Amino acid sequence: MDLHVELPGLHLKNPIIPASGCFGFGREFAELYDLSLLGGIAIKSATPQERFGNPTPRIADTPMGMLNAIGLQNHGVDYIIENELPFLAQFDTEILANVAGSSEEDYVEVIQKLNDQPVVKAYELNISCPNVKLGGIGLGTNPELASHVTRICKAAAKKPVYVKLTPNVTDIVSIAKAVETAGADGLVLINTLLGMKIDLKTRKPVLANTTGGLSGPAIHPIAIRIVYQCAKAVNIPIIGVGGVQNAEDAVEFLNAGASAVEVGAQNFVDPYICKEIIEELPKILQKYGYRTLNEAIGRSL
Amino acid sequence: MKCSDAKILRNEKITSDIYRIELETSLSPLVKPGQFVQVQIPGFYLRRPISVCETNDNTMVLIYKTVGAGTEAMHAMRPGERINLFGPLGRGFPIEEKDVVLIGGGIGIPPLVETAKAYRKNGRHVTAVLGFNTKEQIFLRERLTELECYVVVATMDGTEGVHGTVLDAIQSKNISTSFVEACGPMSMLKAVSSVCQGYISLESRMACGIGACMGCVMKDKDGESLRVCKDGPVFEIGRMAL
């Protein structure tokens, strides 16, 4: 079955993309399977300078999900260009570069540096990370700020710009519309939900950062709802992300209006999950009466 | 490394909160001393990283402490049931061409068993210094004695062996500190690192177990962040900022 999807800047052979932060730069997973099987890869956030991230513990297990507070740890965009992109260039898959920062200037700087890197096909603006004090979610919870940073990044970018939004807002549709108006080429919905876990023995938060981002199957229905609401309100493509465990969950995102699907925390539970979903997808699409993948997109709208 | 269902052969309590599970698994021949596996406990989301105690042909022994709901559920599993493993993972203890002193504290002791086997197989002399809070918590002493290790026990309350820490035991028995391999609580590893040369195995909360998520990182002395799961869990003494 034809699983191919055409999106701005991204010619995906199938709609499955490991989500940023859950797949590093692919090196570890390349030891397990051929990354050329993947539709694309959303690589770990790049910031202008190296960031160590938050203190540990950074991870907590939760019912049907997990909390993380990594804090955008990365070696900085120059290191990524020098060391990670050449490794990724050997694979026949589309690289979506997740861009983060503490200020608008940071986003622009990362984009300008990645503009000349042919392996990067599009940008994913991370204005939704709940684990950093500046930038991140601060920009993504306000329609004016989200719109402003999108406009500035669009002006700097020589490649399509997708904006990854946070669900930790009162009205995500208004932010999705504001970002569309500002020129975004697509949306990535959703980042993690702000959560917390307390250790009853110590009476203290499990995470050193106190709070973290909730991901995993627990957030899947929220992500489906948000993709559905935004798909009804905007005319730019949506990449759905949140709690995908199998091909059925991916098809659910497509039905809700997503054109492609990112797989996040499940990579930690089943490191082969993206490969398995890609193999399973034709069977599941056929089971529900679709002849092509495109027929499944937006069918519930 | 690979993902594979293991069959539970035994799952039994060995002290008040420590359990020994024996599994039939195709991962066994791949395991090197000091490596760990990621265990998928039914009903829980993230896998639990657990050090491999020892392997024999197609069986593997894990010794785990019940620290939360996940490990509580693990000890309720019965022989015949299946449990998914991913691994083996991480860089374990190097097996060098010399005699070794293995130092373990509490639930840090299990990975020393396979390590002891590797040294004994090479005909090396192995001293095992085991630290516990109290006599009732002692485990693996017999197993390490069976492997013809010289075993020294220390208890914090003095109910068995040397009264005090593993370092008190090393001092009172005049044991060499020139080459040790150690695993145990951070306080023990810090103390060991201040007087011994060799390697320590660290513990951290982790998600992926393969070095992708950056959940388990610790800083080395130069401020570089290293992944406990992939760059470790075993590090040379003096390398990490503990």
Q: Residue B52: what pLDDT?
A: 98
Please indicate if any CB of chain B lies within 8 Å of the CB of A52.
yes
Pair of tokens at residue A12: 């995906």
Q: Is residue A34 part of a domain?
A: yes
Three-state SS annotation for A231-300: HHHCCCCEEEECCCCCHHHHHHHHHHCCCEEEECCHHHHCCCHHHHHHHHHHHHHHHCCCCCCHHHCCCC
Query: Are A32 and B1 inside 8 Å of each other by CB?
Result: yes
Band of residue A14 on the pLDDT scale cut at 50, 70, 90: very high
Q: Is residue A106 part of a domain?
A: yes
Mean pLDDT value across residues B33-39: 98
CA B83 – CA B217 distance, rounded (Å): 27
CATH of B100-197, one of 3.10.20.590, 2.60.120.10, 3.40.50.880, 3.40.50.80: 3.40.50.80
CA A214 – CA A69 distance, rounded (Å): 9
CATH number of domain containing A276: 3.20.20.70
Query: Are A73 and B217 inside 8 Å of each other by CB?
Result: yes
CA B144 – CA B152 distance, rounded (Å): 10
Q: Which of A33, A48, A45, A9 is nearest to A271 (CA)?
A: A33
Residues of A belonging to the active site: 129
Sign of the CA dihedral with A257 first, then A263, A266, and A271 last: positive
Q: What is the pTM of this model?
A: 0.95
**Mean pLDDT over the full length of chain A:** 96
- The vertex-B185 CA angle with B183 and B188, nearest 5°, equals 80
pLDDT above 90 for A298: yes
Q: Residue B20: what pLDDT?
A: 97
Q: Is residue A225 part of a domain?
A: yes
Query: Are B40 and A68 inside 8 Å of each other by CB?
Result: no
**Model confidence over A95-152: pLDDT tens digits?**
999 999 988 899 999 999 999 999 999 999 999 877 666 666 678 899 999 999 999 9
Q: Residue A134: what pLDDT?
A: 61
Q: Is residue A301 part of a domain?
A: no
Band of residue A267 on the pLDDT scale cut at 50, 70, 90: very high
Q: Pick A66's closest partner by Cβ from B1, B45, B204.
A: B45
CA A58 – CA B197 distance, rounded (Å): 30
Residues of A in contact with B70 (CB under 8 A): 61
Query: Are A24 and B44 inside 8 Å of each other by CB?
Result: no
Query: Are A268 and B218 inside 8 Å of each other by CB?
Result: no
CA distance A24 to chain B (A): 5
Residues of A in contact with B3 (CB under 8 A): 270-272
**Range B2-89 classified under CATH 3.40.50.360:** no
CA B52 – CA A180 distance, rounded (Å): 52
Residue range(s) occupied by CATH 2.10.240.10 in chain B: 202-242
Where does B202-242 sit in CATH, by number? Answer: 2.10.240.10
Residues of A in contact with B86 (CB under 8 A): 271
Q: Pick B214's closest partner by Cβ from A31, A57, A70.
A: A70
Q: Residue B22: what pLDDT?
A: 98
Residues of A in contact with B209 (CB under 8 A): 268
Phi first, then psi: give them for residue A207, nearest 5 degrees: -85, 135
Residues of B in contact with A64 (CB under 8 A): 45
**Model confidence over A162-183: pLDDT tens digits?**
999 999 999 999 999 999 999 9
Is residue B190 helix, strand or coil?
Answer: helix
Band of residue B67 on the pLDDT scale cut at 50, 70, 90: confident
If you measure CA to CA, which chain A residue comes closest to B210?
A28
Query: Are A271 and B210 inside 8 Å of each other by CB?
Result: yes
Q: Is residue A284 part of a domain?
A: yes
Mean pLDDT value across residues A14-19: 98
Q: Residue A138: what pLDDT?
A: 74
Q: Pick A56's closest partner by Cβ from B205, B212, B230.
A: B205
Place of tokens 């992500």: A223
Count of structural domains within chain A? 1
Residue range(s) occupied by CATH 3.40.50.80 in chain B: 100-197
**Model confidence over A25-80: pLDDT tens digits?**
999 999 999 999 999 999 999 999 999 999 999 999 999 999 999 999 999 999 99
- The vertex-B56 CA angle with B107 and B233, nearest 5°, equals 40
Report DSSP letters for B119-167, one per residue. Answer: HHHTT--EEEEEEESSGGG--SHHHHHHTT-EEEEEETTSSSSEES-HH
CB-based contact B91:B115 (threshold 8 Å) = no
Query: How distant is the alpha carbon of residue B2 from its chain centre?
Result: 20
**Model confidence over B78-102: pLDDT tens digits?**
999 999 999 999 999 999 999 999 9
Residues of A in contact with B207 (CB under 8 A): 59, 66, 68, 265, 268
Please indicate if any CB of chain B lies within 8 Å of the CB of A127.
no
Give the Å distances, CA to CA, from A157 to A105, A114, A143, B13: 13, 9, 21, 60
Query: Are B70 and A61 inside 8 Å of each other by CB?
Result: yes
Q: Residue A135: what pLDDT?
A: 61
If you measure CA to CA, which chain B residue comes closest to A18?
B212
Question: Which structural domain range is residue A215 located in?
Answer: 5-296
Q: Pick A58's closest partner by Cβ from B40, B46, B215.
A: B215
Q: Residue A140: what pLDDT?
A: 87
CA distance A44 to chain B (A): 9
If you measure CA to CA, which chain B residue comes closest to A57?
B205
Pair of tokens at residue A85: 């992109």
Residue range(s) occupied by CATH 2.40.30.10 in chain B: 2-89
pLDDT above 80 for B136: yes
Residues of A in contact with B233 (CB under 8 A): none
DSSP A219: G
Q: Is residue A274 part of a domain?
A: yes
Query: Are A271 and B208 inside 8 Å of each other by CB?
Result: yes
